[in-house]
Amino acid sequence: MSSYKQTKRTISFIILHCSATRENQHFTVADIKRWHLQRGFVDCGYHLVVEQDGTISAGRPLTSIGAHCRNHNRNSIGICYVGGLDKDGHPADTRNEAQKKSLCELLTQLHQDYPKAIILGHRDLSPDLNGDGKITPNEYIKRCPCFDAMVEYADLQPAGLWEGKPIW
């Protein structure tokens, strides 16, 4: 896999998202770009999209600031997998095996390129309402990406992350 290192931005976070579409809907990066242009964005809000067949597609260049997580776009990379809702439209971890494999490969590469970046989910950057240093489910502004990215990718986190309380 080619290197994704092509930005001079300081990358503190690699933020995982879902497209909030049903698991049986096969959308592509072109669809997501079209939705974002309709919302007035200049390009796809995410840097990378993992489609349902596992294809990793470029949304916008890593050199550009994304449009995917309020207050955290400047110093982050946004990755979206297609899915996040079950067939009835309820939030669910709908990643299939191909998507899980691609996410793992992609995050392994990005961890090499940005070893200080914390991998987390969009919901983990919700406001800490009670100030206890933890973002708990009752504080989630969204369920996105519908799984616990910090734990799932614990092996790809910056050295020392779990020794102290992460601050952001």
CB of 38 to Zn ion, least distance (A): 17
Rg for the chain, CA atoms, rounded:
15
Residue 17 binds Zn ion, judged by CB under 5 A: yes
One character per residue 102-141, x = contact with Zn ion (rule: CB under 5 A) = --------------------x-------------------
User: Is 46 part of the annotated catalytic residue set?
Assistant: yes
Using alpha carbons only, give the angle 108, 142, 45 rounded to the nearest 5 degrees.
Answer: 55
Residue 77: φ, ψ to 5°? -115, 135
Rounded distance between C-alpha atoms, residue 45 and residue 60, angstroms = 7
Rounded distance between C-alpha atoms, residue 154 and residue 162, angstroms = 9
User: Is 4 part of the annotated catalytic residue set?
Assistant: no
Residue 35: both structure tokens together? 């939705």
Residue 143 binds Zn ion, judged by CB under 5 A: no
User: Is 134 part of the annotated catalytic residue set?
Assistant: no
The catalytically annotated residue of 4, 18, 44, 46 is 46
The catalytically annotated residue of 18, 80, 144, 146 is 144
| Residue ranges that bind Zn ion, judged by CB under 5 A | 17, 122, 144
